[in-house]
Amino acid sequence: MQLIGQILHLLITPALWQTTLESGVLLLLPALGGVISERSGVVNIAMEGMMLTGAFAAVAVAEVTGNPWISTLVAIAAGGLMAVIHAVVSIRFRADQIISGVAINIFAFGITAFLNSKITNFQGFNPVKPSAQLPYLHIPILDKIPFFGPIFFDQNIIVYVGLFLLVAVQFMLFRTRLGLRIRAVGEHPQAADTAGINVYSIRYGSVIASGLLSGLAGAFLAIGITNVFNDGMTDGRGYIALAAMIFGKWTPIGSFVACLIFGLGTSIVANNSTLNVSRDLLSMLPYILTLVVLAGLVGKSIPPAADGQPYTPGSE
Amino acid sequence: MAAPQAPTKPAKPGETSMPVIWAKQLGRLIGAPIGSVIFAFIIGAIIVLITGGDPIQAYQGLFCGGIGLFCTGDLYSSITPALEISSTIVFATPLIFTGLAVALPFRAGLFNIGAQGQLTMGAIAAAAVGIHYASWPGFILLPAVLIVGTLAGAAWGGIVGVLKAFTGAHEVVTTIMLNYIAAFFLYYLLRGGPMQLAGQPEISANVGAGAQLPHFLNGNGQLFGQPIGVYQAHTGILIAFAVAVLFYILLKRTALGYEIRAVGQNQRAARYAGISVKRTLIITMLIAGAFAGLAGGVEIAGLSHQLTIRYATDSTGFDAIAVALLGANAAIGIILAAFLFAALRVAGPVMQGNANVSQNLVDIIQAVILFSIAANFLRTFKIRLPALRQTPPGEDAPMVATTVTELEDTEPSEPAEVGDTA
C-alpha cells in the first residue's frame, strides 16, 4: 500500500515526465532511422554504433571548436559515414545485414575508444564546456504553466527537433512519392525495379538517413545530456531503439510511443529516490515489456516483406 | 529472392586425383577465414600507422602478449611468455562454449546474440548452488554446479526458441532483451540483493571448495619467476573440448543434427520432409543456451569461484559471434578461432602498456574480420583478378546471402556430407 502511494506521488512529479520525454526523443531519433532503413528492406541493428560514433565526433569537435552547432553537424556526418559502410557491405557486397550491423557496432566501439585514447593520450576528453553544449529552450510564459510547462516548454532544443522529425518522417513515409518508393522497395524490390524505381539508390539513401539520425542522437546524448564522452557511452540505447521500432510495428508514431515507454522506464530509475524498490529490478521492466509485446500478447509485429534480403536484379 | 545456389558440385571421379580435391576443399574451407584475418591485421596496421604508432611494435606486443612469441627487445622482455599462454587458455575456455552456442543456431538459421545472457544466467545458477551447498563433497557438488548452470542457460535460450517457434518473434531482438534482463538480474543480486557478500560491493561469497575445477598447475612454488597461483589455466578447457566433440557428433552423426541443418538450409523443404520446424528451433535454442550456461558454470567453478558483475559486463557473448563466424560454425574452427580471439584479448593490455597503442585495436581487428567474412571481400577481389582464378567460373559467382540461412548454403564445408545424410 505504501508502495502504491509512492508510485502515485512519483507520477505527479513534472521532473519524471520531463526526463521521460527527453529520454524518449533520444531513442526516437535512431528508431526513426531504423524505420526508414528497414522500410527500404535493409535490416539495421547498427544504430548503436552510429550513435556512438556521433557522440564521439560531437565531443571531439566541441573540444576543438567550442561550437555546439558545428559539433552536431560533424556528429551527423560521422553517423552517416558509418551508415555508408553498412550500406556498401550489405547492399553492394550483399553481406548478411545482421552480421554487418554487429560488425559496425564492434568497429564503432573500437575505433572511438582507440581514437579517444590516441587523441587524449589515455586521459579522456574534458567535460564539454557549457558554451559548447546544446542549449535548453525555455519558452517564455508557456513554461510557467503548472505541470505541463516544464514538460513541454523547458526542453533541450533537440527534443523539439526530434518531435518535428517524427512528424516529418511519418508524413514522408506515408504521404509522399518518396515514401511510397521506399516502402515499395522494402516490400517487393523486383516490382519496384520493374516500375522504374532505382532500388539501390533508395536503399543507400535510406541506410544513410538512418546514420544521420543516429549521429544526431549521439550528439544529443554527448553534448546535450551527459556532456562527457566515455568509451561505449551509448550503452545499448541503439539496441533499445531497435526494439522500440519493432514494438512500434515499423511506424514512426508507433516507435515514438514505444520510445516513451522506454523513456519512462529510464526516468523512473533516475527519479526513484522516493521509491523503495531496487533500481536494478526497475530497470528490467521495459525489457520484459518488450518481450511480452514480441510474444504477441499486444498484437503481432510484421516486418516489411523484403526486410533483410539483398536485392539482385533479375532474380525471381 | 535469389534462386537457390546449387551445392558445390562434387568433382567427377577420375578427373582429378583425390589428394588434389582434398587440398582444394581444404583451401576453400580455410582460405576465407585466414584471408580475413590477414586482411584485418593489414587494416589494423594501417590504422596504427596513420595515427602515428609503430605497427611492428604493436603486433610484436600482440604475439608476445597472446602466445608468448617474440618477447624480446626493450619493450617486451619483462613479459613472462608462459603466463601469457596460460591466460590465453583461460580466456579461450568460455569463448569455445559460447562460440558453439552461437554456431549451432546459425546452422538452424537462427542468430543467437544471447550467448551473453545465457552465460550470465548459467553463472548465477551455478554460483547459487555452489554457495548454498558449499559443504557438499566435490564429487556431488561439482557436477551439480555445472549441471545447474547448464540447465539455467538452456532455459534462457529456450525462451528464445519458444517465442520464435510460436509467435515468430525475431531472435535477434528477444536475445538482446534477455541479455539486458539477465544483466540487471545479476546487478540486483549483487547490489543489495540476496547474493551480495555482506559489506562487499558487487561480489558474492565463494563457492565451496568441492565446487572448484582444478588448475593445471598447483602448489606454492614459483615458475618462470612468477608464483604458481597466477597461472590460472584450469581444466575447464578440457570440458570445452569435450563439448566441441559433442557438437560435432550432434551435427554430423545424429538425426537431430540432420534436422537442424535441414531447417537451416530450407525451412519449407524441411517441413515437407516431415521435420517439425518448431520443435527443431526450440531444441536448437535449448542446446545452445545449455552450451553458454555451461560456460558460466565452468567460469564459476574454474576461475572466479564467486559471482561478480563481470559476468554481465565483459564481451564474451559478443566475441562469440566473431568466433563462430571465423570458425565457419564448425567445431575445430571454433576452437582455433576462440584461441585467436582469446590471445588478442590477453595481448591487448600488454600492447597498450608496453607499446602505448590502445588495446581497442583488438576490437577494430575483430570487426574487420567480421566485415570481411560477411561481405566476402576476398571472393569479390578474386573475380576482379581473373589470372588468379583457380576454380571453375560458376563457383566464383558473388555470394548471394539473403539470410543467415543462405549464407550457410554457400558454405564449402557442407557438400562433403550431403551424400550420406540425404
Higher-confidence residue of B328 and A80: namely A80
Tell me the residues of chain A between 87 and 126 that have a Cβ less than 8 Å away from chain B.
89, 93-96, 98-100, 102-104, 106-107, 109-111, 113-115, 117-118, 122
pLDDT at A286: 80
* A122: chain B residues, CB-CB within 8 Å: 358
Cα separation of A113 and A56, whole Å?
9
Please state the ipTM of this predicted complex: 0.87
User: Cβ separation of B374 and A89 shorter than 8 Å?
Assistant: yes
Interface of B with A in 44-83 (CB under 8 A): 47, 51-52
Predicted pLDDT at B200: 84
A:B CB pairs within 8 Å: 171
Distance from CA of A174 to the nearest CA of B (A): 25
Q: Is the dihedral of CA A244, A176, A41, A213 positive or negative?
A: negative
Residues 133-172 of A with CB under 8 A from B: none
Q: Are B148 and B125 in contact (CB under 8 A)?
A: yes
Sign of CA dihedral A308, A312, B2, B7: negative
Domain ranges within chain A, ordered by starting residue = 2-297
The number of beta carbons lying within 10 Å of the beta carbon of residue A159 is 23
- Grid coordinates given for B250: 550432434
Query: Which region, left, alpha or beta, applies to residue B198 given φ > 0 means left and ψ of -120 to 50 means alpha?
Result: beta
Mean pLDDT, residues B301-305: 92
* Distances from the Cα of B94 to the Cα of A245, B28, B295, angstroms: 33, 28, 5
C-alpha cell belonging to residue B369? 574480420
Closest residue on chain B to A247 (Cα): B173
Say what the pLDDT of residue B323 is: 92
Q: Which amino acid is at B136?
A: W
Residues of chain A with pLDDT under 70: 1, 273-276, 297-301, 314-316
Residue A123 gets which letter from DSSP?
S
Query: Quick one: closest CA in A to B189, which residue?
Result: A280
pLDDT, tens only, B110-146:
989 999 999 999 999 999 999 999 999 989 999 999 9
> Which three cell numbers, joined as nine digits, stand for A205?
539513401
Chain B residues close to A239, C-beta within 8 Å: 176
Nearest to A206 by CA among A230, A224, A236, A184: A184
**B154 and B188 Cβ atoms separated by less than 8 Å:** no
CB contact under 8 A, B47 and A283: no
Query: Nearest-CA distance from B13 to chain A in Å?
Result: 33
pLDDT above 70 covers a percentage of chain B that reads 85
Cβ proximity of B284 and B171 under 8 Å: no
Query: B154: closest CA among B92, B97, B235?
Result: B97
Q: How much is the pLDDT for B415?
A: 36
User: Is A243 within 8 Å of B318 when comparing Cβ atoms?
Assistant: no
CATH code of the domain occupying A2-297: 1.10.3470
Q: Let me know if A177 is exposed, middle or buried by CB neighbors in 10 A (0-12, 13-18, 19+).
A: exposed
Residue B373: pLDDT band (50, 70, 90) is confident
B363 and A295: CB-CB below 8 Å?
no
For A137, the 3-state DSSP assignment is: strand
Tally of CA atoms within 13 A in the half-sphere of B122 that contains its CB: 35
Categorise residue A134: left if φ over 0, alpha if ψ from -120 to 50, beta otherwise. Answer: beta
Compare CB distances from B400 to A94, A278, A308 and report the shortest one's residue: A94
**Would you list the domain boundaries of chain B?**
93-339
Residue B230, C-beta contacts closer than 8 angstroms, at least 6 positions apart = B83, B86
Higher per-residue confidence, A149 vs B271:
B271
**B146-200: per-residue pLDDT in tens?**
999 999 999 999 999 999 998 888 888 899 899 999 999 999 999 888 888 888 8
**Option in A98, A99, A315 nearest B2 (CB):** A315
Give which of A217, A173, A205, A206 is closest to A29, Cα–Cα: A217
Percentage above 90 pLDDT, chain B: 46
A313 shares contact with chain B (CB less than 8 Å): no
pLDDT above 70: residue B5: no
- Residue in B closest to A49 by C-alpha: B367
Angle between helices B277-299 and B236-253 (to 10 degrees): 170
Partner A, chain B 292-321, Cβ-Cβ below 8 Å: 318, 321
Residues 6+ apart with CB under 8 A from B113: A102, B171, B172, B175, B176, B179, B317, B318, B321
At A236 the pLDDT is 85
Question: Which residues in chain B are contacts of A95 at CB distance < 8 A?
Answer: 371, 374-376, 401
Q: How many CA atoms does the CB half-sphere of B90 hold within 13 Å?
A: 25
Burial of B72 per CB tally in 10 Å (0-12, 13-18, 19+): exposed
Q: What is the pLDDT of residue B28?
A: 67
DSSP assignments along B128-141, one per residue: HHHHHTTTS-HHHH
Which pLDDT band, with edges at 50, 70 and 90, does B2 fall under?
very low
Contact A114 B364 (CB under 8 A): yes
Q: Report how many helices (DSSP H) and strands (DSSP E) chain B contains, helices first.
A: 18, 4
Residue B33 has pLDDT above 90, yes or no: no
pLDDT tops 70 at residue B393: no
CA A56 to chain centre: 15
Q: Give the DSSP H/E element, type plus range, for residue B204.
A: strand B203-206
Per-residue model confidence (pLDDT) at position B403: 37
B371 CB within 8 Å of a chain A CB: yes
